[in-house]
Structure 1
């Protein structure tokens, strides 16, 4: 039994050794095959990268700052009475446009008119007293010349005449004061504008704190908005060169209103890092309304004959900002550029002549000097059919 066991163990060992030798030999052959495959790959040439290109455009590019804005009136007045009285007549309607000086409200002025009459009567009485004293003074001058009365009596009459003249002057001032008080009963428009809601009616008792209505000036009108602190230099430089154009865009489809920059605040808000700005607009058609939200567009300069390319063609990394263009031998060439201004999907740049073929698609697979091939050139042509590129 022991001999049979030994024979079986030896046989198994031989079989295992033969199998290991066979597998090792097969692995060597496979490794050699892989090495030969790699060598073939290295020995081949890299195929060209398929790319799309665009030609830079030459155009004038306006540098525009954009912000959300609100329409604010140049002036608005909250009308209050200057006396306690009752409304006699309302001469206007809500929403009406009024001219400067137009009569809006009439108050009960009977008391004021009575005071005017009283002041006139008082002034007439004082004037009559003055006239009597002046006649006495004139006679006393004649009598003192004839030495019928003493000089002291004449001096007394003279002082009485001067006192009476002052009393007449005070009466005239009192009459003017009563006339001013009476004028408060007629409330007129201090400026041209649109009337708001009317808060009183005929017979209403009004006091100094009572708000009658408001008048808002609509033409011209302001829009107010804030711009980043970084834009302050461009704003000031543009203002020195002349009027700065501003557009106000309202609801979609509405025509943009054109105005001029009118105000730059004298301080920057340190918390928000912004500067407050206003623009003045002619508003004869009342296209802008107080409280309305609009989009303000400020044109601070125009880059003349700028080179414009799609922003998608620009690459930025640790080495700088550049684009790939097709160079000699259909190879990719790096061209450093600098963004001057971005707008929409495009950007005005410096560093290009304008006659290059700028690569827009496929650039992620490129290296300087890599061979490239235009996508249109690589597409198979079909007889009897033509392909039209969308513009």
Structure 2
């Protein structure tokens, strides 16, 4: 009898473990079956995104949670946006106007200079000598002129004792010497100008670029490279283009005496870098692109704009007073154009076609299709279709508050399913005694 005892004990334990596992599965099914039964996949329904009339997004299904906003009025600025290129207001390549040796360079690369500041010096000795020579020639001719005038005065004083021909000849001599002196004065002026050109000064306010010629080099007036390039960046210019369709509106505003404001912003359209005014509308349209070129001038007081850079340009065309606006996310686009979902008093939605006049920031200017005070859906539109029922945040908060007392008894935590080893019952007393 003792030889059969191990086999009986092992079989009993196997049966006990199987019973415990089945009991655990039954307990889990008891707790989780209601939630699985209500799943749309097990109950024959479909996912919310493809819900039909009986689904969550349908008029006969559960209300769709949404956010709403009322159509309001406010002043809306109308901007024309474009990509602009920053250019220096003035750019000058400083060149020598005389030939000679560059004996001094008096600026630093990248230095800010004022108009009239001395930038470089050409060897002036040759030009100073020419100037002094011109003065000496003038003085010599002036002395001859003075002598000729005195002779003419004596001839005239002698009267009939001097022939008329002698007087006429002396008078012509005086006029000839007067012309010579005038030519000498012109030569002196030319020599003075040439001498002044040996001092090279800044023609404009600006910033010096790279030095193109070093001290000791021979420079010539015919050189095209120049000594340095100066760029004026305060103020600074921005060149941009707009479609030719905007030209009529721009010209109309200018004809009314308006100075159109221009904003230079970051590349993403946010963060104003500087503000200025429209300076120029080009005199012809580019036939290749159908665009018109415009130029704005900005003070650039903080030097945040730099020649050659790109900025987003916003030209303020006008301001629409008391325009109807809605949040931009509320506007959807369908096959027949833009539309919104309007909320009805019955807490359903209807599709309302609208005409969008402009988009500014996160607001859309509505030209037609809505009235002030109407309520539209701004969030949750993806699950809506005409006739869908909706629920608002205040409705959900109220419903949640009403369910709290009823849900209190169910707050008892669900006990965990027993594990198989813990469910093995103790061996019977008969087995223990054996």
Q: Give the TM-score band, short-chain normalised.
A: 0.7 to 0.9
Distance change (3 Å), C-alpha of 1:280 and 1:155: same
Match in the other structure for 2:286: 269
Distance in 2 separating the partners of 1:354 and 1:139: 106
- For 1:58-95, what per-residue CA distance to the aligned partner results, in whole angstroms no more than 9, with x for missing partners? 33222222222121011110011112101122222111
1:374 aligns with 2:388: no
2:317 aligned residue: 300
The whole-number CA distance in structure 2 between the counterparts of 1:279 and 1:264 is: 9
In structure 2, what is the Cα distance between the partners aligned to 1:93 and 1:314?
57
Give the corresponding residue for 1:309. 326
Q: What's the counterpart of residue 4 of structure 2?
A: none
For residues 317-351 of structure 1, what are the alpha-carbon distances to aligned partners after superposition, in whole Å with 9 as ceiling and x for unaligned?
56665433222444434444211112355412133
Task: Report the alpha carbon displacement of residue 126 of structure 1 after superposing the two structures with TM.
Answer: 0.8
Question: In 1, distance between residues paired with 2:351 and 2:95?
Answer: 72
Tell me: CA distance 1:90–1:236, structure 2 relative to 1, closer, same or farther (3 Å): same
| 1:271 match: secondary structure | coil
- The verdict on how the C-alpha distance between 1:359 and 1:154 changes in structure 2, with shifts beyond 3 A counting, is closer
1:268 and 1:47, CA in 2 relative to 1: closer, same or farther beyond 3 A?
Answer: same
Q: Is 1:217 matched up with 2:232?
A: yes
Report deviation, 1:221. Answer: 0.8
Structure 1: which 4+ aligned runs deviate by more than 6 Å? 251-254
Provide Cα deviations, 1:354-377, integer angstroms capped at 9, x if missing partner: 22221343576533xx36232544
The residue that corresponds to 2:215 in the other structure is 202
Q: Is the counterpart of residue 352 in structure 1 residue 367 in structure 2?
A: no
Shift in Å, 1:134: 1.5
Q: Which residue in the other structure is 1:192 paired with?
A: 205
Which consecutive unaligned segments of at least 5 residues does structure 2 have?
A: 1-53, 408-434
The number of residue pairs the alignment matches comes to: 338
Whether 1:229 aligns to 2:248 is: no
Structure 1 residue corresponding to 2:98, chosen from 63, 76, 83: 83
- 8 Å CA contact 1:51–1:359 kept in 2: the answer is no
Q: Within 1, Cα distance between the matches of 2:253 and 2:178?
A: 65
Distance 1:294 1:319 in 2: 35
C-alpha distance in 2 between matches for 1:326 and 1:249 = 37
Of 268, 279, 288, which aligns to 2:305? 288
Pairing 1:107–2:122 present: yes
Structure-1 residue corresponding to 2:430 = none
Q: d(CA) in 2 for partners of 1:293 and 1:189? A: 28
Shift of 1:222: 0.6
The TM-score normalised by the length of structure 1 is 0.78
Inter-partner Cα distance in structure 2 for 1:328 and 1:375: 12
Give the aligned partner of residue 340 of structure 1.
357
2:262 counterpart residue number: 246
Distance 1:46 1:254 in 2: 47
Residues 79-135 of structure 1, C-alpha deviation per residue, up to 9 Å, x if partnerless? 111121011222221111111112211111111111111111111111111111122
Q: Deviations over 1:149-168 (max 9, x none)?
A: 32222221111111111111
Residue by residue, what CA displacement relative to the aligned partner does 1:191-239 show, whole Å, maximum 9, x if unpaired? 1111111122332110121410011111111111112233323333333
SS in 2 for 1:284: coil
> Structure 1 residues 137, 319: closer, same or farther in 2, change over 3 A?
closer
- Unmatched segments (≥5 aa) in structure 1: 1-40, 386-391
Name the structure 1 match of 2:186.
173
Question: Cα 1:251–1:93, aligned 2, differ >3 Å: closer, same or farther?
Answer: farther
Report deviation, 1:353.
Answer: 2.3
Coordinate RMSD, CA, aligned? 2.8
- Tell me if 1:160 matches 2:179: no
Q: For the residues of structure 1 that align with 2:120 and 2:211, how far apart are their CA atoms?
A: 11
Separation of aligned partners in 2, 1:357 and 1:89: 76
Aligned twin of 1:383:
404
* Distance in 1 between residues matched to 2:212 and 2:144, nearest whole Å: 50
CA distance in 2, matches of 1:278, 1:314: 34
Deviations 1:282-302 (A, max 9, x none): 123222111122221222122
Check conservation: 1:49, 1:366, Cα contact below 8 A.
no
Inter-partner Cα distance in structure 2 for 1:166 and 1:85: 32
**Alignment pair present for 1:123 and 2:138:** yes
Partner Cα separation in structure 2 for residue 236 and residue 49 of structure 1? 52
Partner of 1:95: 110
